[in-house]
Amino acid sequence: MLSTLAAVLPIFALIFAGWLARRIGVLGPHATGELNRFVVYLALPALLFDIVAHAQWAEVWQPRFIAAFGIGAALVFCLTIAVRLRRPRHLADAAIDALNAGYANTGFVGFPLALAALGREALAPTLIATIITVCVLFAIAIVLIETGLQTEKRRRHLVTKVGGSLLRNPLLVAPAVAAIVPVTGLRVPDAAESFLRLLGGAASPCALVALGLFLATRRESSETNVGSAALLVSFKLVLQPAITWVMATAVFGLSPLLTHAAVLLAALPTGTGPFMLAEFYKREAAMTSNVILASTITSIVTISGYLALAR
Protein backbone atom coordinates (compact mmCIF):
# COMPACT_ATOMS: atom_id res chain seq x y z
CA MET A 1 0.00 0.00 0.00
CA LEU A 2 2.76 2.46 0.94
CA SER A 3 4.73 1.84 -2.27
CA THR A 4 1.59 2.36 -4.34
CA LEU A 5 0.71 5.52 -2.43
CA ALA A 6 4.25 6.86 -2.81
CA ALA A 7 4.08 6.32 -6.58
CA VAL A 8 0.71 8.05 -7.12
CA LEU A 9 1.07 10.86 -4.55
CA PRO A 10 3.05 13.14 -6.94
CA ILE A 11 0.23 12.74 -9.47
CA PHE A 12 -2.34 14.10 -7.03
CA ALA A 13 0.05 16.89 -6.02
CA LEU A 14 0.47 18.07 -9.62
CA ILE A 15 -3.27 17.84 -10.35
CA PHE A 16 -3.98 19.81 -7.17
CA ALA A 17 -1.36 22.42 -8.12
CA GLY A 18 -3.18 23.03 -11.41
CA TRP A 19 -6.58 23.08 -9.69
CA LEU A 20 -5.38 25.56 -7.08
CA ALA A 21 -3.66 27.80 -9.63
CA ARG A 22 -6.92 28.11 -11.56
CA ARG A 23 -9.13 28.62 -8.52
CA ILE A 24 -7.01 31.45 -7.06
CA GLY A 25 -6.60 33.08 -10.46
CA VAL A 26 -2.87 32.54 -11.00
CA LEU A 27 -3.67 30.94 -14.38
CA GLY A 28 -6.56 32.07 -16.56
CA PRO A 29 -9.30 30.19 -18.45
CA HIS A 30 -7.16 29.75 -21.59
CA ALA A 31 -4.25 28.15 -19.72
CA THR A 32 -5.61 24.60 -20.10
CA GLY A 33 -5.66 24.67 -23.90
CA GLU A 34 -2.33 26.47 -24.26
CA LEU A 35 -0.53 24.20 -21.80
CA ASN A 36 -1.97 21.16 -23.52
CA ARG A 37 -0.78 22.43 -26.91
CA PHE A 38 2.72 22.78 -25.46
CA VAL A 39 2.56 19.14 -24.37
CA VAL A 40 1.22 17.85 -27.68
CA TYR A 41 3.49 19.85 -30.01
CA LEU A 42 6.72 19.99 -27.98
CA ALA A 43 7.06 18.04 -24.75
CA LEU A 44 5.37 14.73 -25.61
CA PRO A 45 7.00 14.39 -29.06
CA ALA A 46 10.38 14.92 -27.37
CA LEU A 47 9.56 12.25 -24.80
CA LEU A 48 8.42 9.77 -27.47
CA PHE A 49 11.54 10.44 -29.54
CA ASP A 50 13.75 9.90 -26.50
CA ILE A 51 12.04 6.62 -25.55
CA VAL A 52 12.22 5.11 -29.03
CA ALA A 53 15.70 6.40 -29.88
CA HIS A 54 17.20 4.80 -26.75
CA ALA A 55 15.31 1.51 -26.94
CA GLN A 56 17.70 -1.45 -27.13
CA TRP A 57 16.53 -4.24 -29.43
CA ALA A 58 17.68 -6.97 -27.03
CA GLU A 59 15.69 -5.41 -24.19
CA VAL A 60 12.44 -4.72 -26.03
CA TRP A 61 12.25 -7.86 -28.17
CA GLN A 62 10.39 -10.15 -25.78
CA PRO A 63 7.61 -11.40 -28.07
CA ARG A 64 5.64 -13.37 -25.47
CA PHE A 65 5.55 -10.42 -23.06
CA ILE A 66 4.68 -8.07 -25.92
CA ALA A 67 1.83 -10.39 -26.94
CA ALA A 68 0.46 -10.84 -23.41
CA PHE A 69 0.44 -7.14 -22.54
CA GLY A 70 -0.46 -5.98 -26.05
CA ILE A 71 -3.41 -8.35 -26.46
CA GLY A 72 -4.79 -7.30 -23.07
CA ALA A 73 -4.68 -3.63 -24.03
CA ALA A 74 -5.97 -4.28 -27.57
CA LEU A 75 -8.96 -6.37 -26.47
CA VAL A 76 -10.05 -3.78 -23.93
CA PHE A 77 -9.54 -1.01 -26.50
CA CYS A 78 -11.65 -2.79 -29.16
CA LEU A 79 -14.34 -3.83 -26.67
CA THR A 80 -14.71 -0.26 -25.44
CA ILE A 81 -15.11 1.09 -28.98
CA ALA A 82 -17.74 -1.56 -29.72
CA VAL A 83 -19.67 -0.76 -26.54
CA ARG A 84 -19.47 3.02 -26.96
CA LEU A 85 -20.50 3.00 -30.63
CA ARG A 86 -23.73 1.26 -29.68
CA ARG A 87 -24.89 4.36 -27.76
CA PRO A 88 -24.45 5.78 -30.51
CA ARG A 89 -21.28 7.81 -29.98
CA HIS A 90 -19.01 9.61 -32.43
CA LEU A 91 -16.02 7.54 -33.52
CA ALA A 92 -13.59 10.21 -32.28
CA ASP A 93 -15.17 10.17 -28.80
CA ALA A 94 -15.34 6.37 -28.78
CA ALA A 95 -11.61 6.23 -29.59
CA ILE A 96 -10.83 8.56 -26.67
CA ASP A 97 -13.03 6.42 -24.42
CA ALA A 98 -11.12 3.34 -25.60
CA LEU A 99 -7.88 5.04 -24.58
CA ASN A 100 -9.44 5.80 -21.20
CA ALA A 101 -10.01 2.07 -20.73
CA GLY A 102 -6.71 0.80 -22.14
CA TYR A 103 -4.07 3.54 -21.72
CA ALA A 104 -2.05 2.56 -18.65
CA ASN A 105 0.00 5.25 -16.91
CA THR A 106 3.23 3.31 -17.48
CA GLY A 107 5.48 6.34 -17.80
CA PHE A 108 4.59 8.32 -14.71
CA VAL A 109 3.50 5.56 -12.32
CA GLY A 110 4.78 2.37 -13.95
CA PHE A 111 8.55 2.87 -13.60
CA PRO A 112 8.68 3.85 -9.90
CA LEU A 113 6.04 1.29 -8.94
CA ALA A 114 7.62 -1.59 -10.89
CA LEU A 115 11.01 -0.74 -9.40
CA ALA A 116 9.63 -0.67 -5.86
CA ALA A 117 7.50 -3.81 -6.21
CA LEU A 118 9.55 -6.06 -8.52
CA GLY A 119 13.09 -4.66 -8.65
CA ARG A 120 15.31 -3.50 -11.49
CA GLU A 121 14.54 -6.63 -13.54
CA ALA A 122 11.08 -5.18 -14.16
CA LEU A 123 12.37 -1.98 -15.82
CA ALA A 124 12.84 -3.57 -19.27
CA PRO A 125 9.25 -4.96 -19.35
CA THR A 126 8.05 -1.54 -18.21
CA LEU A 127 9.84 0.08 -21.15
CA ILE A 128 8.16 -2.40 -23.51
CA ALA A 129 4.73 -1.64 -22.03
CA THR A 130 5.44 2.10 -22.32
CA ILE A 131 6.29 1.80 -26.02
CA ILE A 132 3.16 -0.30 -26.67
CA THR A 133 0.94 2.14 -24.79
CA VAL A 134 2.40 5.53 -25.63
CA CYS A 135 3.39 4.81 -29.24
CA VAL A 136 1.29 1.96 -30.67
CA LEU A 137 -2.03 2.35 -28.83
CA PHE A 138 -1.80 6.13 -29.00
CA ALA A 139 -1.15 6.02 -32.75
CA ILE A 140 -4.15 3.75 -33.38
CA ALA A 141 -6.40 6.09 -31.42
CA ILE A 142 -5.15 9.11 -33.40
CA VAL A 143 -5.87 7.31 -36.68
CA LEU A 144 -9.43 6.56 -35.52
CA ILE A 145 -9.98 10.12 -34.29
CA GLU A 146 -8.72 11.63 -37.54
CA THR A 147 -10.91 9.22 -39.52
CA GLY A 148 -13.96 10.08 -37.45
CA LEU A 149 -13.44 13.83 -37.83
CA GLN A 150 -13.26 13.79 -41.62
CA THR A 151 -16.51 14.57 -43.44
CA GLU A 152 -15.32 13.57 -46.93
CA LYS A 153 -17.39 10.55 -48.04
CA ARG A 154 -15.38 9.55 -51.09
CA ARG A 155 -12.96 6.89 -49.92
CA ARG A 156 -9.92 8.10 -51.89
CA HIS A 157 -10.32 11.64 -50.62
CA LEU A 158 -10.93 10.36 -47.10
CA VAL A 159 -7.68 8.38 -47.15
CA THR A 160 -5.82 11.43 -48.50
CA LYS A 161 -7.22 13.70 -45.80
CA VAL A 162 -6.53 11.29 -42.96
CA GLY A 163 -3.07 10.47 -44.29
CA GLY A 164 -2.18 14.15 -44.55
CA SER A 165 -3.35 14.80 -41.00
CA LEU A 166 -1.35 11.87 -39.68
CA LEU A 167 1.82 12.99 -41.49
CA ARG A 168 1.51 16.39 -39.80
CA ASN A 169 0.85 14.94 -36.35
CA PRO A 170 3.97 15.34 -34.15
CA LEU A 171 2.88 12.48 -31.87
CA LEU A 172 3.26 10.07 -34.79
CA VAL A 173 6.14 11.73 -36.62
CA ALA A 174 8.46 11.90 -33.60
CA PRO A 175 8.58 8.15 -32.75
CA ALA A 176 8.65 7.22 -36.46
CA VAL A 177 11.74 9.38 -37.04
CA ALA A 178 13.30 8.21 -33.77
CA ALA A 179 13.08 4.57 -34.90
CA ILE A 180 15.83 5.36 -37.41
CA VAL A 181 18.33 5.71 -34.55
CA PRO A 182 18.28 2.15 -33.12
CA VAL A 183 17.70 0.57 -36.56
CA THR A 184 20.77 2.20 -38.10
CA GLY A 185 22.94 2.08 -34.99
CA LEU A 186 23.30 5.85 -34.85
CA ARG A 187 23.77 7.75 -31.60
CA VAL A 188 21.91 10.83 -30.43
CA PRO A 189 24.42 13.66 -29.78
CA ASP A 190 24.85 14.60 -26.12
CA ALA A 191 23.48 18.11 -26.60
CA ALA A 192 20.40 16.81 -28.41
CA GLU A 193 19.89 14.14 -25.76
CA SER A 194 19.96 16.75 -22.99
CA PHE A 195 17.47 18.87 -24.94
CA LEU A 196 15.12 15.93 -25.45
CA ARG A 197 15.21 14.89 -21.80
CA LEU A 198 14.67 18.42 -20.52
CA LEU A 199 11.75 19.01 -22.88
CA GLY A 200 10.32 15.50 -22.62
CA GLY A 201 10.49 15.62 -18.84
CA ALA A 202 7.90 18.39 -18.89
CA ALA A 203 5.27 16.25 -20.66
CA SER A 204 3.74 14.39 -17.73
CA PRO A 205 3.89 17.23 -15.15
CA CYS A 206 2.39 19.75 -17.57
CA ALA A 207 -0.35 17.34 -18.62
CA LEU A 208 -1.27 16.72 -14.98
CA VAL A 209 -1.31 20.45 -14.20
CA ALA A 210 -3.51 20.97 -17.28
CA LEU A 211 -5.85 18.28 -15.93
CA GLY A 212 -6.05 20.14 -12.62
CA LEU A 213 -6.86 23.37 -14.47
CA PHE A 214 -9.65 21.58 -16.32
CA LEU A 215 -11.07 20.07 -13.12
CA ALA A 216 -11.17 23.53 -11.51
CA THR A 217 -13.83 24.60 -14.01
CA ARG A 218 -17.24 23.98 -12.47
CA ARG A 219 -19.54 21.76 -14.52
CA GLU A 220 -22.49 19.46 -13.99
CA SER A 221 -22.07 15.68 -14.22
CA SER A 222 -25.02 13.66 -15.45
CA GLU A 223 -25.84 10.16 -14.21
CA THR A 224 -24.99 8.86 -17.70
CA ASN A 225 -21.48 10.34 -17.51
CA VAL A 226 -20.95 8.93 -14.01
CA GLY A 227 -22.08 5.47 -15.12
CA SER A 228 -19.94 5.57 -18.25
CA ALA A 229 -16.90 6.70 -16.28
CA ALA A 230 -17.42 3.85 -13.81
CA LEU A 231 -17.60 1.37 -16.68
CA LEU A 232 -14.35 2.66 -18.19
CA VAL A 233 -12.60 2.57 -14.81
CA SER A 234 -13.70 -1.03 -14.26
CA PHE A 235 -12.43 -1.96 -17.72
CA LYS A 236 -9.08 -0.33 -16.93
CA LEU A 237 -8.48 -1.59 -13.39
CA VAL A 238 -10.19 -5.00 -13.49
CA LEU A 239 -10.78 -6.27 -17.03
CA GLN A 240 -7.43 -5.35 -18.59
CA PRO A 241 -5.26 -6.93 -15.85
CA ALA A 242 -7.53 -10.00 -15.80
CA ILE A 243 -7.16 -10.54 -19.56
CA THR A 244 -3.42 -9.91 -19.30
CA TRP A 245 -3.08 -12.47 -16.50
CA VAL A 246 -4.87 -15.11 -18.59
CA MET A 247 -2.65 -14.33 -21.58
CA ALA A 248 0.53 -14.39 -19.49
CA THR A 249 -0.21 -17.64 -17.64
CA ALA A 250 -2.53 -19.81 -19.73
CA VAL A 251 -1.54 -18.76 -23.26
CA PHE A 252 2.09 -17.63 -23.34
CA GLY A 253 3.48 -19.21 -20.16
CA LEU A 254 5.55 -16.24 -18.99
CA SER A 255 7.96 -16.49 -16.08
CA PRO A 256 6.63 -15.33 -12.68
CA LEU A 257 8.55 -12.04 -12.95
CA LEU A 258 7.24 -11.21 -16.42
CA THR A 259 3.73 -12.33 -15.46
CA HIS A 260 3.65 -10.05 -12.41
CA ALA A 261 5.16 -7.20 -14.44
CA ALA A 262 2.56 -7.58 -17.21
CA VAL A 263 -0.38 -7.73 -14.81
CA LEU A 264 0.91 -4.91 -12.61
CA LEU A 265 1.44 -2.62 -15.61
CA ALA A 266 -1.97 -3.52 -17.05
CA ALA A 267 -3.56 -2.67 -13.69
CA LEU A 268 -2.16 0.88 -13.65
CA PRO A 269 -4.62 3.79 -13.72
CA THR A 270 -5.40 5.75 -16.87
CA GLY A 271 -2.61 8.08 -18.01
CA THR A 272 -2.97 11.62 -19.27
CA GLY A 273 -2.75 10.69 -22.97
CA PRO A 274 -6.55 10.53 -23.51
CA PHE A 275 -6.98 13.93 -21.85
CA MET A 276 -4.33 15.46 -24.12
CA LEU A 277 -6.14 14.18 -27.21
CA ALA A 278 -9.58 15.24 -25.94
CA GLU A 279 -8.35 18.79 -25.36
CA PHE A 280 -6.27 18.90 -28.55
CA TYR A 281 -9.14 17.76 -30.79
CA LYS A 282 -11.73 19.87 -28.89
CA ARG A 283 -13.75 16.84 -27.82
CA GLU A 284 -15.68 16.53 -24.56
CA ALA A 285 -12.98 16.08 -21.88
CA ALA A 286 -15.05 15.87 -18.67
CA MET A 287 -15.46 12.10 -19.03
CA THR A 288 -11.73 11.65 -19.51
CA SER A 289 -10.78 13.80 -16.53
CA ASN A 290 -13.22 11.86 -14.32
CA VAL A 291 -11.79 8.52 -15.46
CA ILE A 292 -8.19 9.61 -14.86
CA LEU A 293 -8.99 10.92 -11.39
CA ALA A 294 -11.22 8.00 -10.34
CA SER A 295 -8.91 5.31 -11.71
CA THR A 296 -5.88 6.88 -10.02
CA ILE A 297 -7.61 6.96 -6.63
CA THR A 298 -9.15 3.48 -6.95
CA SER A 299 -5.88 1.95 -8.18
CA ILE A 300 -4.33 2.50 -4.77
CA VAL A 301 -6.66 -0.20 -3.46
CA THR A 302 -6.68 -2.51 -6.50
CA ILE A 303 -2.91 -2.50 -7.08
CA SER A 304 -2.17 -2.93 -3.39
CA GLY A 305 -4.58 -5.88 -3.33
CA TYR A 306 -2.87 -7.47 -6.32
CA LEU A 307 0.60 -7.01 -4.81
CA ALA A 308 -0.59 -8.59 -1.57
CA LEU A 309 -1.98 -11.60 -3.45
CA ALA A 310 1.14 -11.88 -5.63
CA ARG A 311 3.38 -12.07 -2.61
Reduced to 3 states (helix: H, G, I; strand: E, B; else coil), residue 298 is helix
Reduced to 3 states (helix: H, G, I; strand: E, B; else coil), residue 163 is helix
Contacts of 33 (CB under 8 A, 6+ apart): 279
pTM higher than 0.75? yes
For residue 98, the model assigns a pLDDT of 95
For residue 120, the model assigns a pLDDT of 79
Contact 234, 243 (CB under 8 A): no
**Rounded CA separation 118/177 (Å):** 33
Residue 252 corresponds to which amino acid?
F
Q: What is the DSSP letter of 270?
A: B
Residue 42 corresponds to which amino acid?
L
DSSP 69-122: HHHHHHHHHHHHHHHHHTS---HHHHHHHHHHHH-B-IIIIIHHHHHHHH-GGG
CATH number (1.20.1530.20, 3.40.50.2000, 1.10.150.80, 1.10.10.10) of 2-216+225-310 reads 1.20.1530.20
Q: For the stretch 139-172, what's the b/e string if a residue is b when 16 or more beta carbons lie within 10 angstroms of its beta carbon?
A: bbbbbbbbbbbbeeeeeeeeeebbeebbeebebb
Residue 177's Cα: distance from chain center in Å?
20
**Rounded CA separation 43/206 (Å):** 9
For residue 1, the model assigns a pLDDT of 60
| pLDDT one digit per residue (tens) for the chain, 311 residues | 666 667 667 877 888 899 999 999 898 888 888 888 898 889 888 988 888 888 777 777 899 999 999 999 999 999 999 999 887 788 999 999 999 999 998 877 888 788 878 887 888 898 889 888 988 898 899 889 888 887 655 656 666 766 776 677 787 788 888 888 888 888 889 999 999 999 988 887 888 888 888 878 765 555 557 888 999 999 999 999 999 999 999 999 999 999 999 999 999 999 888 988 888 888 888 888 889 889 988 988 898 888 888 76
**Residue 244 burial by Cβ neighbours in a 10 Å radius (0-12, 13-18, 19+):** buried
For residue 154, the model assigns a pLDDT of 60
For residue 155, the model assigns a pLDDT of 59
Q: At 220, which helix (H) or strand (E)? A: none
For residue 224, the model assigns a pLDDT of 56
Q: Choose among 47, 102, 44, 95: nearest CA to 70.
A: 102
Residue 268 corresponds to which amino acid?
L
**Rounded CA separation 216/104 (Å):** 24
Residue 227 corresponds to which amino acid?
G
Contact 227, 305 (CB under 8 A): no
For residue 7, the model assigns a pLDDT of 64
Region class of 214: left (phi > 0), else alpha (psi between -120 and 50), else beta? alpha
Contact 74, 242 (CB under 8 A): no
Residue 58 corresponds to which amino acid?
A
**Residue 278 burial by Cβ neighbours in a 10 Å radius (0-12, 13-18, 19+):** buried
